[in-house]
Amino acid sequence: MHGIDWVDVGLSGLKIAVVLGAMLNVTPIMVWVERRGSALIQDRPGPNRVGPFGLFQSFADALKFILKEDMLPAKANKVLYTIAPMFGLIPALTTIAVVPWGRPFLLPGGRLFEPIIANVNIGILLIFALASMGVYGIVMAGWASANKYSLLGGIRASAQMISYELSLTLAAVSVLMSAGSLSLVDVVWRQTGSFVLFNAIKLPAWNIFSPAMWIAFVVFFVSAFAETNRLPFDFAEADAELVAGYHTEYSSMKFALFFMSEYMAMATMSALITTLFLGGWDIPWYNEPPNALGFALSVLAFVAKVSVLLFVFVWVRWTVPRLKYDLLMKLGWKVFLPLAVINIVIVALFIAKRWI
């Protein structure tokens, strides 16, 4: 056994603290963006009383969550009812660990600083493995509440997640084939620089600009909405049909945990879409210097891309109405799954012809 490298431990702790802090702050910010964004789209003011532009509304919301009575339904399975919200939170918080969020650079001591918590060579598989655990939080909550609407929400969630996980994973396979690696660090490095499309336009070498990836991007992007249970695919809660679906019986901080995990799952999904298709931390038409400045700029680029995607999540929610449940299943199994498989063949052709 070799000794423990305390600088390395310290750096890891710092990275974990920064990323966790960012993830935990996503929820209050996104709640504000969601409420103000929906108001903007529906042509009304939205929350604008607490603080400038209503920015402190989230603090008021949090205070309310903490002070509300925590109720336990009489017929609920107490153990599962209590651990279900926590179970939803774990995948939302852990999957971000394998996503690189900046350009690596050399520290003054000659040590390489890699802005990623865990640089594992099976990064994308780890994300899918942990993300697939997220559904158990919803299913457990739906079942343990002993409420028919909750149960229906849980059943719907399990069917929906299974269906869309397939197309999500198969769409990601296209990206992994072109990168030749399961590590998200390699996927991002593969997208740096630029290429010339159809001998005419000089574009950044992001996967989204490659003709082989267009289908994969659409499939992945839409499946991401289903995977995070957001409108137009929020069948697990579907407030018009199921009261509030799987979290009907939840109140106080237990409800807040579901709330938080939904927004954190959105942030993770946005980070994943950015990494797989939008070049990760790469800045278009610009060669980041391998120093602290390049690192800072690349982190800003990453955060900007994720923020835009998060706003798109909000935008879509308040623009597109909910599908019918049978349409959701048809879309997943009869449209997206075949499209994702076809795209794998297309990417294979591109790789064989050395076009990418």
Partner 1 sequence: MISFIIFFFFAAVAVIFAAMVVLHRNPVVGALSLVASFFALAVMYVLLEAPFLAALQVIVYAGAIMVLFLFVIMLLNLQHQAEPHTRPVQQFLGYTSSAAFGLALIYYLAKFGVTKLPEGVFVADARTVGIRMFEAYIFPFEMVSILLLAAIVGALILSGRTGISSTQGSPSASVPSTKMPPATPASTHSEEVR
Contacts with partner 1 by CB under 8 A lie at 77, 80, 120-122, 125-126, 128-130, 132-133, 135-136, 139-140, 142-143, 148, 151-152, 154-155, 158-159, 161-162, 165, 169, 182
Q: E-assigned strands of 65-193?
A: 105-106, 112-113
Closest contact distance (angstroms) between CB of 126 and partner 1 is: 6
Residue 104's CB is within 10 A of a number of other CB atoms, namely: 18
**Amino acid at residue number 177:** M
Nearer to partner 1 (CB atom), residue 224 or residue 306: 224
Closest contact distance (angstroms) between CB of 135 and partner 1 is: 6
Alpha carbon separation from 54 to 25, 68, 140 (Å, rounded): 16, 22, 35
Nearer to partner 1 (CB atom), residue 87 or residue 302: 87
121 contacts 182 by C-beta, under 8 angstroms: yes
245 contacts 237 by C-beta, under 8 angstroms: yes
Helix (H) or strand (E) holding 202: strand 201-204
Nearer to partner 1 (CB atom), residue 61 or residue 165: 165
Closest contact distance (angstroms) between CB of 261 and partner 1 is: 17
Sign of the alpha-carbon torsion through 48, 263, 138, 236: positive
Nearer to partner 1 (CB atom), residue 32 or residue 164: 164
Nearer to partner 1 (CB atom), residue 17 or residue 129: 129
Closest contact distance (angstroms) between CB of 155 and partner 1 is: 5
Give every CB contact of residue 230 below 8 A, 6+ residues apart in sequence.
262, 266, 313, 316, 317
What is the β-pairing status of strands 112-113 and 105-106?
A: antiparallel
Helix (H) or strand (E) holding 75: none
Closest contact distance (angstroms) between CB of 108 and partner 1 is: 32
Residue 284's CB is within 10 A of a number of other CB atoms, namely: 13
27 contacts 259 by C-beta, under 8 angstroms: yes
Two structure tokens written together for 216:
């994969």
Closest contact distance (angstroms) between CB of 140 and partner 1 is: 7
Residue 148's CB is within 10 A of a number of other CB atoms, namely: 12
Nearer to partner 1 (CB atom), residue 140 or residue 278: 140
Two structure tokens written together for 254:
């237990």
Measured in degrees and rounded to the nearest 5, phi and psi for residue 77 equal -80, 110
Nearer to partner 1 (CB atom), residue 129 or residue 292: 129
Closest contact distance (angstroms) between CB of 139 and partner 1 is: 6
Nearer to partner 1 (CB atom), residue 165 or residue 237: 165
Closest contact distance (angstroms) between CB of 244 and partner 1 is: 18
Measured in degrees and rounded to the nearest 5, phi and psi for residue 95 equal -65, -25
What pairs with residue 300 in β-bridges? none
Closest contact distance (angstroms) between CB of 132 and partner 1 is: 3
- Local structure of 332: helix, strand or coil: helix
Asked if residue 232 has a cis previous peptide bond (ω within 30° of 0), the answer is yes
Nearer to partner 1 (CB atom), residue 218 or residue 243: 243
